Structure 1
Amino acid sequence: MQIETPRLILRPWSLADAPHYVTMSKDIGYNCFASPGVYLARDANDLNAKIQKRMDTFDRHGISKFPIFRKQDGVFIGTCGADFFEFESRPEMEMGYRLLLAHWGQGYASEAALAMRDYLFHKVGAHSLYGFAVKQNSASIRVLEKIGFRYRQVIDYEGMEHQLFEGRPAL
């Protein structure tokens, strides 16, 4: 499985992607709206376990937060994909994206998110998707709006207030 856009390639993780995971775990842009330390790996075993968890999610459900690479030079720029979260006492699919700081402001998040939205609706068969961001992350909120998600409500996620958006397939 591989998703291609005009400028990007999104594909499942492999254990060979460990250097990319380390890069994202230390990047200020990737982590600035996340709970502190959530992506850090304590050692090589922890690093492999974090990557393996993403691989297992893909193997079981066809979804993951996939690494994103620039087509022109193969540079790793961030992640985009989906995972499950608990909403109103039921599991729902959350779509998210995070970029390394050096790649902000170039339209990559919108490009990846649009392709991922289409993959999740048309290949995975999702009936609805959710995306959320802290209100201070206006760029992420604009991406959700740009790909057709609509504001639904405020939720608490990992102890922080987030704006929740919902997307549904076009009829």
Structure 2
Amino acid sequence: MTILETERLYLRELEMEDAEALARVLSDPESMQYYPEPFSPKRVKGWIEWNREDYKKYDHGLWAVILKEGDVFLGDCGITMQTIGNETVPEIGYHIIKAYWNQGYATEAANACKEYAFDVLQYPQVFSYTTAANIPSKKVAEKIGMKPYKVFEKNGEKQIVQVVRNWCETGTVLT
């Protein structure tokens, strides 16, 4: 089932059958260099299960990112509920298979998720966070309009939090 669509992509719920394809990003040491470690096959399946539970609990989670041309699995992107400091907030996350980096897919998928968060889920703001060293992820967040929000510690590392709000500078709600 397609959740949302962009010019080049569609996002759908992750299925257990996606585990092998998703492992191409979640188990890759270079792709996961900003995580404590790459995922084992068991952990990739657990990741899919976690998101499938989030679909039921929140009506969102990380979704499979599929390139329309050729129906190619690119990774995952979506909205999860994350505890940042002492708040639980909607966070846009993304993982794209290394062979598809630097083609704008993460930005395109993340921007569509941002719009979905505002238009469908009615969140007033969405966040993204990553380690301070993860410049590529911070740049994707900036490209979809996110601004620095705060810094906190997780797993002994400095995390940079970015936010985008669903209103303009004057406080007027966007339509």
- TM-score exceeds 0.5: yes
3-state SS in 2 of match to 1:69 = strand
Q: Letter of the aligned partner of 2:15 in structure 1? A: S
Is residue 121 of structure 1 aligned with residue 112 of structure 2?
no
Q: Which has the higher contact order (CA 8 A, sep 6+)?
A: 1
Post-superposition offset of 1:117: 0.3
What 5-or-longer segments of structure 2 have no aligned partner? 168-172
Aligned amino acid, residue 54 of structure 2 = T
1:78-132 deviation per Cα after TM superposition (whole angstroms, max 9, x unaligned): 1111212223423111111111111111111110110000011111121221101
Say which is worse superposed, 87-96 or 46-55, in terms of deviation. Answer: 46-55
Higher normalized helix content (fraction of residues): 1
Distance verdict in 2 for CA 1:29–1:10, change over 3 Å = farther
3-state SS of 1:31 partner: coil
Q: Secondary structure at the match of 1:50?
A: helix
Match of 1:107 in 2: 104
- Correspondence 1:135-150 to 2 at 5 A: 135-150=132-147
For this pair of structures, how many residues does the alignment match? 167
Name the CA distance, whole Å, in 2 between partners of 1:73 and 1:137.
30
2:37 alignment counterpart: 36
Stretches of structure 1 that go unaligned for 5 or more consecutive residues are none
Identical aligned residues as a percent: 25
RMSD (CA atoms): 1.8
Distance 1:50 1:139, change over 3 A: closer
Hey, what's the Cα distance between the residues in 2 that align with 1:127 and 1:117?
11
Report matched runs for 1:153-168 at 5 Å.
153-168=150-165
Which structure 2 residues correspond to residues 2-151 of structure 1 after superposition, within 5 A?
2-37=3-38, 39-42=39-42, 48-151=45-148
